Amino acid sequence: MNKKVIWITGASTGIGKELANEFSKAGYTVVVSGRRKSRLVKIVSEIKYAEREAAAFVCNVMSERSIMATSKRIREKYGKIDVLINNAGVTVFKSLMDTKTVDFDTVLDTNLRGAFLCIKSVLPQMIKNKKGQIINILSVAANTAFENSAAYAASKAGLLALSNSLREEVRNLNIKVSNILPGAVETPMWDSKSRQKYKHRMMSATDIAKIVVSVAEQPRKVLIEDITIRPIKGDI
Ligand X SMILES: NC(=O)c1ccc[n+]([C@@H]2O[C@H](COP(=O)([O-])OP(=O)(O)OC[C@H]3O[C@@H](n4cnc5c(N)ncnc54)[C@H](OP(=O)(O)O)[C@@H]3O)[C@@H](O)[C@H]2O)c1
Contact residues for ligand X, defined by CB under 6 A:
9-16, 34-36, 59-62, 87-90, 110, 137, 139, 182, 184-185, 187-189, 205
Name the residue nearer to ligand X (CB basis): 29 or 136. Answer: 136
Name the residue nearer to ligand X (CB basis): 123 or 151. Answer: 151
Report yes or no: 186 and 216 within 8 Å, Cβ to Cβ.
no
Q: Please, what is the minimum distance in Å from the beta carbon of residue 227 to ligand X?
A: 12
Name the residue nearer to ligand X (CB basis): 60 or 174. Answer: 60
Residue at 108: amino acid letter: L
- CA distance linking residue 155 with residue 138, whole number of Å: 9
Q: Please, what is the minimum distance in Å from the beta carbon of residue 28 to ligand X?
A: 18
Q: Please, what is the minimum distance in Å from the beta carbon of residue 18 to ligand X?
A: 8
Burial class (CB in 10 A: 0-12, 13-18, 19+), 117: buried
Q: Please, what is the minimum distance in Å from the beta carbon of residue 142 to ligand X?
A: 9
Name the residue nearer to ligand X (CB basis): 129 or 196. Answer: 196
Q: Helices in the chain by DSSP H: which ranges? A: 14-25, 37-49, 64-78, 101-108, 114-129, 150-170, 192-198, 205-216
Name the residue nearer to ligand X (CB basis): 171 or 208. Answer: 208
- CA distance linking residue 144 with residue 141, whole number of Å: 5
Report yes or no: 90 and 61 within 8 Å, Cβ to Cβ.
no
Name the residue nearer to ligand X (CB basis): 174 or 194. Answer: 194
The number of beta carbons lying within 10 Å of the beta carbon of residue 41 is 13
Q: Which residues contact 81 (CB under 8 A, 6 or more apart)?
A: 5, 6, 7, 31, 71, 74, 75, 122, 125, 126, 132
Q: Please, what is the minimum distance in Å from the beta carbon of residue 10 to ligand X?
A: 3
Burial class (CB in 10 A: 0-12, 13-18, 19+), 30: buried
Q: Please, what is the minimum distance in Å from the beta carbon of residue 87 to ligand X?
A: 5
- CA distance linking residue 169 with residue 150, whole number of Å: 29
Name the residue nearer to ligand X (CB basis): 10 or 132. Answer: 10
Q: Compute the CA torsion angle 158, 164, 169, 175 (nearest 10 deg).
A: 110
Q: Please, what is the minimum distance in Å from the beta carbon of residue 53 to ligand X?
A: 21
